[in-house]
Structure 1
Amino acid sequence: MDIQHRHIEVFRAVMTAGSVTGAAALLHTSQPTLSRDLARLEQLLGYALFERERGRLRATARARALFDEVERSFQGLARVIEHAQALGRDEGAELSVLCLPALSHALLPGALATLLTHHPAARVDITPAEPPLLDAWMSEQRFDLGLAEQATPLPGVRVEPVLEADEVAVLPADHPLASQARLKLTHFEGHGFISLAADDPYRREIDARFDAAGVTRRLRVQTHSAVAVCELVRAGLGLAIVNPLTAAACAGDGLVVRPLTVSIPYRVSALMPLHRPAQPLAERLLSALRPRGRPGASRRSA
Structure 2
Amino acid sequence: MPINHRQVEIFRAIMEAGSLTAAAQALHSSQPTLSRELARMEERLGLRLFNRGAVKLTPTAAALRLYEGVQAHYRGLRHIQDQALALARQEEQALEVLALPALAHALLPQALQHCPPAPLTITPAENPWLDQWMSEQRFDLAVAESHHAPSGCHLEVVADLDEVVVLPAGHPLLAQPSLDLADLAGQPFISLASNDPYRQGIDQAFAHAGIQRIQRLQTHSAVAVCALVQAGLGLSIVNPLTARACAGPGLHWRPLRHSIPFTVSLIFPSHRPQHRLQPILAAALRSALRAHQSC
Range of TM-score over shorter length: 0.5 to 0.7
Match of 1:32 in 2: none
Q: How does 1:223-242 map to 2 (within 5 A)?
A: 223-242=219-238
Match of 1:6 in 2: none
The amino acid that maps onto 1:293 is A
Q: For the Cα contact (< 8 Å) 2:97–2:140, is it kept in 1?
A: yes
> Which among 192, 199, 204 is matched to residue 195 of structure 2?
199
Q: Give the alignment's TM-score, normalised by structure 2.
A: 0.66
d(CA) in 2 for partners of 1:258, 1:264: 14
Which SS does the other structure have where 1:114 is aligned? coil
Q: Give the alignment's TM-score, normalised by structure 1.
A: 0.65
Match of 1:106 in 2: 106
| Alpha-carbon shift at residue 185 of structure 1 (Å) | 0.6
d(CA) in 1 for partners of 2:172, 2:151: 49
Match of 1:35 in 2: none
Larger Rg: 1
Deviations 1:246-296 (A, max 9, x none): 000100121111001111111111121111001231121111111222158
Deviations 1:176-224 (A, max 9, x none): 1011100011000111100011111111111111111111101110111
Q: For the Cα contact (< 8 Å) 2:149–2:267, is it kept in 1?
A: no
> RMSD in angstroms over aligned alpha carbons?
1.9
Which SS does the other structure have where 1:115 is aligned? coil
Q: How does 1:37-48 map to 2 (within 5 A)?
A: none
Match of 2:292 in 1: 294
> Which among 172, 182, 187 is matched to residue 186 of structure 1?
182
Q: How does 1:10-29 map to 2 (within 5 A)?
A: none
Match of 2:24 in 1: none
Call closer, same or farther: CA 1:164–1:296 in 2, change over 3 Å: farther
Match of 2:142 in 1: 146
Which SS does the other structure have where 1:230 is aligned? helix
Match of 1:215 in 2: 211
Which SS does the other structure have where 1:181 is aligned? coil
Match of 1:115 in 2: 115
Question: For structure 2, which runs of at least 5 residues remain unmatched after alignment?
Answer: 1-88
d(CA) in 1 for partners of 2:121, 2:176: 41
Q: For the Cα contact (< 8 Å) 1:229–1:240, is it kept in 2?
A: yes
| Alpha-carbon shift at residue 162 of structure 1 (Å) | 2.3
Call closer, same or farther: CA 1:99–1:278 in 2, change over 3 Å: same
The amino acid that maps onto 2:263 is R
Call closer, same or farther: CA 1:295–1:169 in 2, change over 3 Å: farther
> Which among 262, 265, 273 is matched to residue 277 of structure 1?
273
Question: For structure 1, which runs of at least 5 residues remain unmatched after alignment?
Answer: 1-86, 298-302
Deviations 1:96-140 (A, max 9, x none): 101111111111001011012xxx3x2111111111111111111
d(CA) in 1 for partners of 2:92, 2:114: 16
Q: Does 1:160 align with 2:156?
A: yes
Q: How many residues align?
A: 206
| Alpha-carbon shift at residue 150 of structure 1 (Å) | 1.9
Deviations 1:140-197 (A, max 9, x none): 1111011111253311111111222110000012111011100011000111100011
